[in-house]
Structure 1
Amino acid sequence: MMVDPNYAKALILGAMLYAGPALAEAESNEDPGSVIVVTGERERTVASAGTKSSLPLAETPQSISVIDARDIAGLGLQNLNQSLRFVAGVTPEQRGSSAEVYDQFKLRGFDAMQYLDGLRIYDSPSGYASTQIDVSRLDRVEIVKGPASALYGQSGPGGLVALSSKLPLASDSYGAASGTYGTYDLYRVDADVGGRLSPSIAWRVYGSANGAHTQQRFGKRERQTISGAVTVGQGGSTTLTLLANYSHDPYNGTYSVFPASGTFIANPNGKLSTKFDGGEPDNRFRREQGAITYIFNHDFGSGWAFRASGRYQSVKSRLGIAYTSGSLDSSDPTSATFSRASYSTRERMKAWTYDNQLMGKVETGPITHNLLFGVDRQVLHSTEDYAFGSFSSLDGYNPVYGSQVVPQTPQDVPDAFGGYLAYHVRQQGIYVQDQMSWGGLRVMLSGRQDWARVEPVGSDAEHSKKFTWRAGALYRTALGIAPYVTYSTSFQPQSGLVLNNDGSQGQAKPSLGKQIEAGVKYQPVGTQILLTAAYFDIRQTNLLTSVPNTNYSIQTGKVRSRGVEVEASAPLGHGFQAKLAFSRQKVRDSDGAGILGVGRGGVSANLEWAPEQGPLEGFAVGGAVRHVDHVYAGTYFDGITYNTPGYTLFDALVRYDLGKTIPRLEGVTLAVNATNIFDKKYLTTCYLDYGWCWYGNRRTVQGTIGYRW
């Protein structure tokens, strides 16, 4: 049973802001009482994902946004999807409150792949066996905008999201724990401890047990995750880090849809409640995932180093659901009864990824070259046993459940159509990069050759090869102003059966993309202030769009995405910290139509005040505003194209470090966080071609008590 928003309950349970991972500040220049978080020592104005090397954002000729563990903790974010609310160019939370099992978003109008510790996070090429990284595991998130295939191979034209795991720190002992409770019975228990076994061996163990009922009537999510890491040789020229993780999701929320009639399209019976559930109490979506990673580093000296990393990843998922198919049960537009369907699947996915890099520095006259040579390989095997079928109808305004049993295996699906799918996917590539520096001038040249194969078992394999490249230049003046321009291309092998115009079937062709980006960055020397602005123009071919209720897709001709983005992060003095993100984009296919789920842009702003001295030291208060412009929703049965309306939401937080006033409570922090504080009802996206819509998250309040030692 869901619990209504209850501020008093959250306060009684004693918490304040954040419901994310508990950590401890380790050797940071920031006030250790500001947020209960263990994080590394990298500055927020430095990133590595865009170049596979550490480079200041102000000197990188490409748009990159950074979110670290402090941001996740400070805003009380529950998943990556929520974290991307504050990044320019992102259309966030594609399926609102109804699909938290996945992090579904668009980056500059396109789906974006995720990488963890530099290695591709694979998803099932045909089904639902997809990984989700719990935020308790994350030390840092870097959003690389625009094609990144010149270094990564597998990348869409909109960019990629690079995640960094928490790894052992250079500290003898550290740790933290926290507990959270909030709206919809949200709970989190997080812990993070680490230290040294010897001067050269460091370890770290962290985990989380979290869950909640969801906004919809029968939804429930639950997760237990644990990670462990050990680094041998820390502080020396040669280090080896081993990292293992296991996550168990016995319940994965409500993976469902709302019918367009009664949400976006007017129904004479009124609006459907945001609590409406078109499924059944027996709906179930379960997932297990695990991974083992190694990271080897060796410093040869004289500016040369070698890095090798690899991961084995495994995901299992089991799904059995009933859901509204998006249409009324009759041709009568005044009907309150909606058609439903059922679906069940059993899936398994295994993947191996490797990346080996040689880095070095040479000088040719006045020019310094930072060189990178790499070779990587990616292998995936997946299987899927699936079935779609029928299910009984449901009155959306007076629902009566239990008329039919939800199928829990593909064999139980009534009136089933489906089958068995298996894929073998391989890709290997070699790449090289030269970062040239001459005074304030930075020139970057990157190139890569890829060979890929997508082989559906029982069908012919699709072989492809492609050379992708990137060229960029930036000039940083003595004032800290740095104009730049870059051109880059992308190459994305695709898995799946394509339904051609003549009705025949075939394998998906690779998606190709290219982008030109121009912008300016400004970081006053010696400050953490960073302002960026960019214009981009992206062209893509062979866009793959899934056809609902089938395992087929269609490939459109071309897509063009153009837009502008502005981001700013600045300490304003007197304890104030401000952030701003603005984007405006136009994404159209070759026929001039929009792309489903892609927004026009938006703006977000965060302001926090945390006095650094005086009687209010240790206290923090802040708020955020998030506006998402209209999102393309497609064509309804009346033949008219629509956009879902834009929406504006407000968030707030308050936090207090008890140790500032009660010394014996040093390390104890309380926080309260609230999102959508005015409880606005809104739609995040609609796919009107299929009669589907998704409500966004209503008001949530959560509280946390954390202890750092």
Structure 2
Amino acid sequence: MRLSTRAVLLTATVPFAVTLSCAPAIGQTKENTQPEGARAEITVTGVRQSYRGNFAVREIPQAIATIDDTVIEENAITRLTDALDLNASVVRQNTLGGLWDSFAVRGFTGDENLPSGYLVNGFNAGRGFSGQRDVAGIERVEVLKGPAAAVLGRGEPGGSINLVTKQAEIGRSFGTASLQYRSFDIVRAEGDANLSLTGTLSARLIGYAESGDSFRDTTEQKRWGFLPSIGLKIGDATRLTYDFEWTRVEVPFDRGIVVLNGNFDTVPRSRFLGEPSDGDTVARATGHQLRVQRDFSPSWSLSVGASHRDTRLTGASSDAETVRSRQKLYVDGRSLSRQRRTRRYTSEHSVLRAELAGDFTTGALRHRVLIGGDFDYFDTDQLFTRFRGPVVTPTTTDRAGYVLDIQNPVYGRFPVPVTAPITNRLDVQRTMGAYVQDQISLTDRLQVRIGGRYDDFLLRVDNRLTNVLGRRKRSRFSPQAGVVYELGAPLSLYAAYGEGYRANIGADATGNVFEPETSKSIEAGVKLTAMGGRLTGTLAAYSLDKSNVLATDTLNPGFAVAIGKARSRGIEADLNGRLPGGFEILLSYAYTDAEARSQVLDPNFSFQIRPGDPLINIPKHNVNMQVAKRFMLGARDAMVGAGVQHLGARSGETGTNFTLPSHTLFRVFGQADLIEGVQLFGSVANLFDADWYANSYSPVWVQPGAPRTATIGLRASF
């Protein structure tokens, strides 16, 4: 059976499935009510939180941070990657030349040769090759940190990112539209209209389109998306929600700049070292989510849902050669040997799930339980071809090495080399899981949480080049436990322990199928809820250990290598709120000590990792601070703000001492109402035009950060 047929069957059987969902809830409890204007407290007010239940954040033995659409709009952010920069626990990783989202939470990123997975409304929906996620249609970004994230079964122990989308609101009609202009001649239009079609049926239509140049020479970009949502109320206790996703990204594949002998001024940050004639790499996505929630009583509800998503990425690129013996740059300091590559990556992902949530008492004890299960089917089909030049000798010609002069590039100097297949592989992952969780209120101040998840996992790897079919089947139970003690307003203490389990997709360069990744994690902290919920914060310390960890195989790009064990330990502080006088503050700091704990030596390439080696692209220190002030400008509302991010030095290549320098970036932003319903907004990122580097794979694949970037726009609402 084709997966597309399977997806149809999954959707058709949703009402009868027992799987998990995050469809909007009909009711809410009094303890979850927030004062108007409070942003930091994530509460259940109309949307039930997947894998979380009906809890206020102060009751959850887990650090949770949120980045809402107000903060995103204030900073004129358009990409998920930029939004995640606002939380210090999340740092950028390698993005396949800018073609996917990749990030680490608390030092762990998963498989560096695949996009980082994230949740959309609680569904595993970020896998695949859909390009970098736009923030259009996002209500808030939730950073779910630490051990409780392991309950998801397939998430990283450091935490998970959950995107809560803007969904149809029944009984209301409203909307916004915006037009903005950004540095490098980038123009963007965006619209959001919620239409009440009947008393029980609403449609929310969200779309965006963006086009323009970039700070990189010869590169242009085009992006668009359509993200509608349908909401249907069936009686007083049932709600159905359908969300659709249709997006396209067209950008040149760009590996960035080269850094020779530690000199980050080897070339200007604007210099493109590929071939403009390669054209755009195109990423497409089409996705569906269908969710139904039924409230049986104020204490019991059932959520069921299904999702299906197809993605496709195609294109060609000319990338710097990473093997030193094949790289002429190390001979004369200016002749960059390059590879020619083509890619055709596709994926299909279906999820079916349900969750039963209940609230009951036994004697003097209050129980809030979650019982659920899910089925997850993911396949990725990768066809990758490559031309690689010979080992450099005195007689090797520039044409043989597909060389580009980095000081005076002449594009199109040589004919495009003919590539040969390197990877032609189908990976199919099937996982079934079930979980149970009970949070017990022992007293008015003390709560304990116990639970666990069982996963049954199957991975098939069909290598069409070698005609080898690999197979790995495993199962595992992952327990969790936590405790919350309320000291009294405004502080509560918590501690948690969890174990996790995540399948490693694919095989190494020799065809060996990877063992699944396992983890153990522990954290403890204190939570602040003050000023009626308008000021919230968390201070946490944690320790995470992982086994069967993968890292990028530097000498075989596109492949991973098993490095055995890794550990991350750290301290985090998050503070967010609205203060008297119209001031809004955001503070996020993370100290992260992430390192390999095993020794790995590849005898063929002398690729070596030693215990204590830092994990790639993970800084010790990361801090983001922001202050905004709201005031009246005449008779109109206005706001101004400023922020700063400091990111420490970090490893730029696995298994070597190549290091990316630290950087500090300043930003300013503001907005003002011109007339009723029309707002002028603007921002300047990297205010002082600092040189900075977003991530690195090796010294010849370093991604420079954008220079000073200004945005100005108009936003209308009705």
One-letter code of the match for 1:645? P
Matches of 1:480 and 1:369 in 2, distance apart?
A: 24
CA deviation profile, 1:243-279 (whole Å, cap 9, x unmatched): 1121122x13443232221xx7238xx6311111111
- Pick the aligned partner of 2:624 from 585, 604, 622: 604
Change (3 A) 1:150 1:682: closer
Conserved? CA contact 1:258–1:324, under 8 Å: no
CA deviation profile, 1:208-241 (whole Å, cap 9, x unmatched): 0113322211222211211222111167201111
Q: Are 2:678 and 1:628 aligned?
A: no
- Pick the aligned partner of 1:459 from 469, 476, 479: 469
Secondary structure of the 1:260 match is coil
Query: Which residue does the alignment assign to 1:522?
Result: 528
CA deviation profile, 1:426-478 (whole Å, cap 9, x unmatched): 00101111122230222211210000111012413111111112111111132
Matches of 1:372 and 1:245 in 2, distance apart?
A: 29
Query: Which residue does the alignment assign to 2:692?
Result: 682
Matches of 1:470 and 1:575 in 2, distance apart?
A: 41
Change (3 A) 1:378 1:579: same
Matches of 1:556 and 1:319 in 2, distance apart?
A: 30
One-letter code of the match for 2:406? G
Conserved? CA contact 1:599–1:631, under 8 Å: yes
Q: Give the CA deviation at 1:600.
A: 1.1
Which shifted more, 580-589 or 417-426? 417-426
Matches of 2:626 and 2:561 in 1, distance apart?
A: 40
Matches of 1:228 and 1:614 in 2, distance apart?
A: 36
Change (3 A) 1:271 1:485: same
Alignment of structure 1 residues 110-149 onto 2, 5 Å: 110-111=108-109, 113-121=117-125, 123-124=127-128, 129-130=129-130, 132-148=132-148
- Pick the aligned partner of 1:538 from 539, 544, 547: 544
Q: Are 2:452 and 1:447 aligned?
A: yes
Matches of 1:217 and 1:349 in 2, distance apart?
A: 31
Conserved? CA contact 1:216–1:254, under 8 Å: no
Matches of 2:50 and 2:237 in 1, distance apart?
A: 25
Alignment of structure 1 residues 153-302 onto 2, 5 Å: 153-233=153-233, 236-249=236-249, 251-261=250-260, 265-266=262-263, 271-283=266-278, 284-302=280-298
Query: Which residue does the alignment assign to 1:82?
Result: 82
Secondary structure of the 1:282 match is helix
CA deviation profile, 1:167-222 (whole Å, cap 9, x unmatched): 11144210110001110112210011112111111211110011332221122221
Q: Are 2:426 and 1:422 aligned?
A: yes
Conserved? CA contact 2:550–2:564, under 8 Å: no
Matches of 2:150 and 2:104 in 1, distance apart?
A: 21
Alignment of structure 1 residues 399-414 onto 2, 5 Å: 399-404=409-414, 414=418
Matches of 2:159 and 2:131 in 1, distance apart?
A: 19
Matches of 1:551 and 1:248 in 2, distance apart?
A: 23
Change (3 A) 1:672 1:30: farther
Q: Are 2:348 and 1:350 aligned?
A: yes
Secondary structure of the 2:487 match is coil
Query: Which residue does the alignment assign to 2:20?
Result: none
Query: Which residue does the alignment assign to 1:381?
Result: 379
CA deviation profile, 1:349-382 (whole Å, cap 9, x unmatched): 1111112011111101222111111010011233
Secondary structure of the 1:110 match is coil
Secondary structure of the 2:262 match is coil
Q: Give the CA deviation at 1:330.
A: 2.9
Query: Which residue does the alignment assign to 1:9?
Result: none
Conserved? CA contact 2:39–2:576, under 8 Å: no
Q: Give the CA deviation at 1:346.
A: 1.6
- Pick the aligned partner of 1:644 from 653, 660, 672: 660
CA deviation profile, 1:632-674 (whole Å, cap 9, x unmatched): 12479xxx6243221101000121012xxxxxx3110001111
TM-score normalised by structure 1 residue count: 0.86
Change (3 A) 1:53 1:211: farther
CA deviation profile, 1:278-324 (whole Å, cap 9, x unmatched): 11112320011101110100011141100011111001111111122
Change (3 A) 1:219 1:469: farther
Matches of 2:74 and 2:291 in 1, distance apart?
A: 29
Q: Give the CA deviation at 1:419.
A: 4.0
Query: Which residue does the alignment assign to 2:398?
Result: none
Change (3 A) 1:156 1:43: closer
Secondary structure of the 2:360 match is strand
Change (3 A) 1:253 1:607: farther
Change (3 A) 1:323 1:439: same
One-letter code of the match for 2:225? T
Matches of 2:36 and 2:274 in 1, distance apart?
A: 47
Q: Give the CA deviation at 1:707.
A: 0.3
Change (3 A) 1:657 1:525: closer
Query: Which residue does the alignment assign to 2:676?
Result: 666
Q: Are 2:357 and 1:341 aligned?
A: no
Matches of 1:147 and 1:389 in 2, distance apart?
A: 44
Matches of 1:224 and 1:29 in 2, distance apart?
A: 36
Secondary structure of the 2:537 match is strand
CA deviation profile, 1:2-35 (whole Å, cap 9, x unmatched): xxxxxxxxxxxxxxxxxxxxxxxxxx9868xxxx
- Pick the aligned partner of 2:516 from 510, 515, 524: 510
- Pick the aligned partner of 1:488 from 481, 491, 498: 498
TM-score normalised by structure 2 residue count: 0.85
Conserved? CA contact 2:62–2:147, under 8 Å: no
Secondary structure of the 1:430 match is strand
Q: How many residues align?
A: 642
Matches of 1:302 and 1:632 in 2, distance apart?
A: 52
Matches of 1:363 and 1:484 in 2, distance apart?
A: 23
Matches of 1:379 and 1:256 in 2, distance apart?
A: 31
Q: CA RMSD in A?
A: 2.4
Q: Give the CA deviation at 1:117.
A: 1.3
Matches of 1:464 and 1:131 in 2, distance apart?
A: 31
Q: Give the CA deviation at 1:331.
A: 6.9
- Pick the aligned partner of 2:614 from 594, 605, 616: 594
Alignment of structure 1 residues 38-49 onto 2, 5 Å: 44-46=41-43
Change (3 A) 1:617 1:573: farther
Per chain length, whose mean CA-contact separation is higher, i.e. which structure has more relative contact order (CA < 8 Å, sep 6+)?
1
Matches of 2:55 and 2:149 in 1, distance apart?
A: 19
Change (3 A) 1:635 1:288: closer
Matches of 1:220 and 1:147 in 2, distance apart?
A: 41
Conserved? CA contact 1:538–1:560, under 8 Å: yes
- Pick the aligned partner of 2:637 from 589, 594, 618: 618
Q: Are 2:327 and 1:306 aligned?
A: no
Q: Give the CA deviation at 1:546.
A: 2.8
Conserved? CA contact 1:220–1:254, under 8 Å: no
Secondary structure of the 2:328 match is coil
Secondary structure of the 2:197 match is strand
Which shifted more, 548-557 or 389-398? 548-557
CA deviation profile, 1:21-73 (whole Å, cap 9, x unmatched): xxxxxxx9868xxxxxxxxx997442765743242222211111111111211
Matches of 1:280 and 1:526 in 2, distance apart?
A: 57
Query: Which residue does the alignment assign to 1:705?
Result: 714
One-letter code of the match for 1:136? A
One-letter code of the match for 2:623? V
Matches of 1:497 and 1:189 in 2, distance apart?
A: 42
Matches of 2:189 and 2:566 in 1, distance apart?
A: 44
